[in-house]
Chains A and B, each alone.
Chain A
Amino acid sequence: MNWVWFYRLGSPLWFYQTTTRWLPWLGLLAFILLTIGLVWGLGFAPQDAKQGNSFRIIYMHVPASFLALAGYFLMATAGAIGLIWKMKLSYMVMKAAAPIGAALTFLALFTGAVWGKPTWGSYWVWDARITSMLILLFLYFGVLALQYAFHNEEASNKASAILALIGTVNIPIIYKSVDWWYTLHQPSTIKLTSAPSMHPDMFQPLLVMILGFYCFYVVALCLFTRVEILRRERKTGWVGDLVGELNGSTEGKRQ
């Protein structure tokens, strides 16, 4: 197998130049998918028999929850790659993934709360899934807080990578224990999250939304990573040239 692509990833410059080329296209794809998914899901998908229109928030809730969890594993994997191969870029990706993941987890919790009010009658229920999402948000907060606590970039990278990895070991344990805890407490609320087999008419727009969210996530991750690249590589020649070019072009416009 050819591993050249992997070594190339070691160069932030290569990443920056490549993403400059295909980011607009991916952004366009994300925009199209999200527009189609939202219009289809919110406007044309059939109403739910029991919940009426309020179920439509699923088109935001489910993709956000998917990516909140996937984003944590991506962050931890990037951290592990950084620890093992000492790759600069992967630490930057890890740092970029943390705020996006936290924001998506919050979005998932928020849409869940908004959805919960008409269906369960309360914004917050100590349901197993909700609680484990909340703990996931706390794990993100821990990584974020640790990242900003260090002055030394090297130490900050390594410490947050290790914390992200420890979190990965803990996520299944937390998920399982919360699940168990929930069955212990036996609340009176109806469990909505036991996925009902959805009608295809409802499921297809959801699939489009999930794909759109994935594209959007990659775009956001690349943008955050690019900012991080520019910040960390600000003393290198190519960033200087880039900034010089930008300044030159804006000055040219002014004249």
Chain B
Amino acid sequence: MRKQASNSFYAYLRRDLLLSYRRLGEAASPLIFFVMASTLVPLGMTPDLASLAKIAPGIIWVLALLATMLSVGGLFAGDYQDGSLEQLLISPQILVMPVLGKVTAHWLITGLPLTLVSPLLGLMLSMPEAGYLPMMASLALGTACLSLLGAVGAALTVSLHKGGMLLALIVMPLYMPVIIFGGATVQYGIDGLIWTAPLAILGAMLAAAIALCPLAIASVLRLTSIN
């Protein structure tokens, strides 16, 4: 039973990664959004490096949050439209593992690239050097949290035609603790404080989210996709 469960996890992880590999342009769009939107900040505010450096951690975190939120809406939409979600629901499996596999794939496609690209943005916004490591660490843990929480919203809105804006409304309040501790980690790093403390809380939130969110997503999918 346990082996079967982990098999379904890897099967869905592999499937979603393969699907996004076949459509690389679509998979890369959150990343491009992340970099593009960061250009708006100096254009809209000021090109002055000193003031940009001050707000850089917050800007990068907000943009990472938005990029994840925009991309998470499609997590179940394709499967819902082509009927494979229904097949998954009626299959004699524990729904939790395939769901976790799909969310993990989503993080590997969006969260991880965002984390890897974030130093570039830090450079462009002249963020102090001490912030780079905390930023990457907090983004790695935080975007995984965001993917999991966002997937709950995606499951809730999967059967709606125009779910995009609604998803944002539902998910944003849930994202607020993540951005608080994510931003705090980077700020602590820059200020020379012990930044592993807020990072640890972020890790605790991720642990709780990994345990609880797939359960919530599975039950939501069972209830709402019948619409």
A contact residues, total (Cβ < 8 Å):
28
**Stretch from A109-117, A146-154, A195-203, A216-224 forming part of the interface with B:** A146-154
Which of A142, A166, A169, A177 is in CB contact (< 8 Å) with B180? Answer: A177
**Interface stretch among B70-78, B91-99, B102-110, B171-179?**
B171-179
CA distance A176 to B198 in the complex (A): 13
Residues in chain A near residue B199, CB distance under 8 A: none
User: Chain B, 184-227, contact with A by CB distance < 8 Å: what is the 0/1 string?
Assistant: 10010000000000000100010000001000100110011011
- Bound CA–CA A240/B107 (angstroms): 54
A139, A173, A177 — which one has the most chain B CB atoms within 10 A of its CB? A177
Binds B, one of A41-49, A178-186, A242-250: A178-186
Give every chain B residue within 8 A of A135 (Cβ-Cβ): 173, 176
A159 to B173, Cβ gap below 8 A? no
Type the 1/0 row for A113-157, where 1 means its CB is closer than 8 Å to any CB of B.
Answer: 000000000000000000000010011011001100111101100
Task: Verify if B68 is at the interface (C-beta below 8 Å from A).
Answer: no
State whether A155 touches B177 (Cβ < 8 A).
no
Chain B contact-residue range equals: 20 to 34
Which of B176, B181, B223, B226 is packed against the most chain A CB atoms within 10 Å? B176
B156→A162 contact, CB < 8 A: yes
The answer to the question of B49 belonging to the interface, with a C-beta cut-off of 8 Å to chain A, is no
Whether B176 contacts A146 by the Cβ 8 Å rule is no
Cα of A73 to Cα of B225 in the assembled complex, Å = 26
- Cβ contact within 8 Å between B174 and A159: no
- In the complex, the answer to whether A138 meets B212 with C-beta atoms within 8 Å is no
Q: How many A-B residue pairs have CB under 8 A?
A: 73
Q: Are B224 and A174 in contact (CB under 8 A)?
A: no
- Inter-chain contact A138/B173, CB cutoff 8 Å: yes
Among A138, A142, A149, the residue within 8 A (CB) of B160 is A149
Q: Check if B20 is an interface residue, CB within 8 A of chain A.
A: no
Q: Does A35 contact B (CB under 8 A)?
A: no
Is there a chain A Cβ closer than 8 Å to B159's Cβ? yes
Nearest-CB distance from A136 to chain B (Å)? 8
Of A146, A167, A169, the residue contacting B173 (CB under 8 A) is: A167
- Chain A proximity mask over B147-188: 1 for CB below 8 Å, otherwise 0: 000001000110110010010011011101100110010010
Q: Distance (Å) between the CB of B103 and the closest chain A CB? A: 15
- Given the interface pairs A150-B227, A152-B227, A169-B212, the reply to whether A163 lies near B184 with Cβ below 8 Å is no
- 12 additional A-B pairs beyond A139-B173, A166-B216, A178-B180, beta carbons within 8 Å, are A138-B173, A145-B166, A146-B156, A151-B227, A152-B227, A155-B223, A155-B227, A159-B224, A167-B173, A173-B205, A177-B201, A184-B187
Q: Which of B160, B173, B187, B223 is within 8 Å of A174, CB to CB?
A: B173
- Main secondary structure, interface of B, reads helix
Check A174 against B227 for contact (C-beta < 8 Å): no
Could you say which of B176, B201, B224 contacts A155, with CB atoms under 8 Å apart? B224
Which residues from chain B contact A174 at a C-beta distance below 8 Å? 173, 176-177
Asked, given contacts A170-B174, A177-B181, A178-B180, whether A145 binds B160 with beta carbons under 8 Å apart, the answer is no
Bound together, the chains give a CA A170 to CA B171 distance in angstroms of: 11
Q: Contacts A173-B177, A177-B176 hold; do A159 and B184 have CB atoms under 8 A apart? A: no
Q: What are 21 contact pairs spanning A and B, CB under 8 A?
A: A135-B176, A141-B169, A142-B169, A142-B170, A145-B166, A145-B170, A146-B170, A149-B157, A149-B166, A150-B160, A150-B227, A151-B227, A152-B227, A154-B226, A163-B156, A166-B216, A170-B177, A177-B180, A178-B176, A178-B177, A181-B184
Cβ contacts under 8 Å, A146 to chain B? 156-157, 166, 170
A146 to B184: give the CA distance in the assembly, Å.
31
A180 to B169, CA, bound (A): 24
Give the Cβ gap from A164 to chain B, nearest Cβ, in Å. 11
| Residues of A contacting B223 in the complex (Cβ-Cβ under 8 angstroms) | 155, 158-159, 162
Task: Report the separation of the CA atoms of residues A227 and B213 in the bound assembly, to the nearest whole angstrom.
Answer: 35
Write the chain B residue with the least CB distance to A151: B227
**Least Cβ–Cβ distance between A209 and chain B, in angstroms:** 29
Distance in Å: Cβ of A145 to nearest Cβ of chain B:
5
